[in-house]
């Protein structure tokens, strides 16, 4: 390795965030920023979530791609499938805020906070006297799908609320201590009827797309609360809407969706689904805020996580958080 580690970042962060990153970096790390490529691309590491083909091919020295969030976009996986010489790494800087939002959605859905709030704003106190407006979580079972950085924090919060935690994970042997019970992915069907709360924090891969479909939702009890902070397509869109509409499950808290705005102009006029989830009073809608993009302390955590990887590479050490392209995470 040369004395300098050349790194190109696809999107330049705000000035304060760039300085925060530079202050944390090993002096041997040399940074360039997009948009666009350096005049003579010689970077060894590219930081980009959705790299263009030209960014992957421009530098003959490129050996690693850092995706500056958790998850592997399918387009990126396809682009890298023919480039086995490029390693891939994630960062998990947003695990804490994502877990906090998952818990907030769980509590808001379980306690009917949104419709009750709307009614009291109209001076209507009736919800105080109406039965079945909320469900108690103490003593109940939280089923956590995906017991990674986010799932572990969600599980810890649920235990703090007096809930039992059952974790379902593809590789249960890798699961650290924490849940009351750890089950392999093959045991999902038998675990679903036990769930009072189903918390989904799985990576989106070919294996998890549509994992929670009509049969799986049908296996949940009528008082079950479903929370999704993973990716929308992990849960079948129509099956979820129909279950909420018919109240075959109690409620849902959703931060991830099936349609997203593709431009700044569309941000104020893009329905998140082809079904009118917004017409239902037993679902809490959140516009994919778990990553907390606009929160300064989360961006600081992102820069710190990037610095950790780059400093390891500059020191000749393996970078943490490698991604398995076949597994998808």
Residue 83 has pLDDT above 70, yes or no: yes
Which residue carries 């998140």 as its tokens?
272
Residues 247 and 261 in one domain: yes
Residues 87 and 131 in one domain: no
Residues 243 and 140 in one domain: yes
> Which of the four pLDDT bands, split at 50, 70 and 90, describes residue 292?
low
- Any idea what the CATH number is for the domain that residue 47 is in? 3.40.50.720
59 vs 21: CA distance, rounded Å: 23
Residue 126 has pLDDT above 50, yes or no: yes
Residues 57 and 125 in one domain: no
Residues 100 and 227 in one domain: yes
**What is the reported pLDDT for 2?**
53
> Which of the four pLDDT bands, split at 50, 70 and 90, describes residue 294?
low
Residues 26 and 38 in one domain: yes
Residues 163 and 87 in one domain: no
Structure tokens of 21? 């990153």
Residues 12 and 158 in one domain: no
The 10s digit of each residue's pLDDT in 24-60 is 999 999 999 999 999 999 999 999 999 999 999 999 9
Mean pLDDT of 129-151: 94
Instruction: Give domain status of residue 322, yes or no.
Output: no
**What is the reported pLDDT for 315?**
95
Percent of the chain with pLDDT over 90: 84
Instruction: Give domain status of residue 99, yes or no.
Output: yes
Number of structural domains (the chain) is 2
317 vs 138: CA distance, rounded Å: 45
Residues 55 and 178 in one domain: no
**What is the reported pLDDT for 243?**
98
* Structural domain of 125: 95-285
Residues 50 and 108 in one domain: no
**What is the reported pLDDT for 285?**
98
Residue 293 has pLDDT above 50, yes or no: yes
Which DSSP letter does residue 237 get? H
Instruction: Give domain status of residue 156, yes or no.
Output: yes
Residue 209 has pLDDT above 80, yes or no: yes
106 vs 198: CA distance, rounded Å: 9
Mean pLDDT of 176-205: 92
Residue 1 has pLDDT above 50, yes or no: no
Instruction: Give domain status of residue 319, yes or no.
Output: no
Instruction: Give the alpha-carbon dihedral of 41, 43, 46, 47, to 10 degrees.
Output: -100
Residue 168: closest CA among 211, 206, 231, 109: 211
Residues 267 and 299 in one domain: no
Using left for φ > 0, alpha for ψ between -120 and 50, and beta otherwise, residue 289 falls in: alpha
**What is the reported pLDDT for 290?**
82
Instruction: Give domain status of residue 114, yes or no.
Output: yes
Residues 155 and 299 in one domain: no
Which DSSP letter does residue 319 get? P
Residue 231 has pLDDT above 60, yes or no: yes
Global pTM? Answer: 0.89
Instruction: Give domain status of residue 154, yes or no.
Output: yes
Instruction: Give domain status of residue 290, yes or no.
Output: no
User: What's the N-to-C CA distance of the chain in angstroms?
Assistant: 28
**What is the reported pLDDT for 70?**
85
Residue 306: closest CA among 86, 85, 55, 9: 9
> Which of the four pLDDT bands, split at 50, 70 and 90, describes residue 218?
very high
């Amino acid at each position: 390795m040369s004395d300098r580690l050349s790194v190109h970042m696809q999107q330049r962060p705000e000035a304060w965030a760039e300085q925060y990153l530079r202050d944390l970096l090993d002096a041997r790390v040399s940074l360039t920023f997009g948009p666009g490529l350096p005049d003579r691309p010689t970077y060894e590491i590219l930081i980009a979530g959705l790299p263009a083909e030209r960014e992957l091919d421009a530098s003959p020295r490129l050996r690693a791609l850092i995706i500056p969030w958790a998850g592997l976009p399918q387009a990126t996986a396809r682009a890298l499938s023919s480039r086995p010489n490029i390693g891939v790494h994630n960062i998990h800087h947003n695990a804490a805020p994502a877990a906090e939002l998952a818990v907030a959605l769980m509590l808001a859905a379980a306690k009917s906070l949104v419709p009750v709030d709307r009614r009291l704003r109209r001076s209507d106190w009736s919800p105080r006297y109406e039965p079945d407006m909320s469900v108690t979580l103490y003593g109940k079972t939280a089923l956590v799908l995906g017991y990674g950085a986010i799932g572990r924090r969600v599980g810890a919060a649920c235990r703090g609320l007096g809930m039992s935690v059952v974790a379902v994970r593809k590789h249960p042997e890798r699961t650290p201590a924490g849940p009351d019970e750890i089950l392999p992915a093959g045991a999902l069907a038998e675990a679903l009827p036990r769930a009072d709360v189903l918390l989904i924090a799985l990576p989106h891969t070919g294996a998890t797309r549509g994992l929670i479909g009509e049969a799986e939702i049908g296996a949940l009890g009528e008082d079950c609360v479903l929370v999704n902070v993973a990716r929308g397509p992990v849960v079948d869109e129509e099956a979820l809407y129909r279950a909420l509409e018919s109240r075959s499950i109690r409620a849902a808290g959703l931060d991830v969706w099936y349609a997203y705005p593709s431009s700044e102009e569309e941000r104020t006029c893009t329905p998140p689904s082809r079904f009118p989830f917004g017409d239902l009073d037993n679902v809490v809608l959140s516009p994919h805020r778990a990553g907390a993009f606009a929160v300064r302390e989360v961006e600081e955590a992102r820069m710190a996580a990037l610095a950790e990887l780059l400093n390891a590479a500059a020191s000749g050490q393996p970078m943490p958080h490698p991604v398995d392209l076949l597994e998808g995470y």
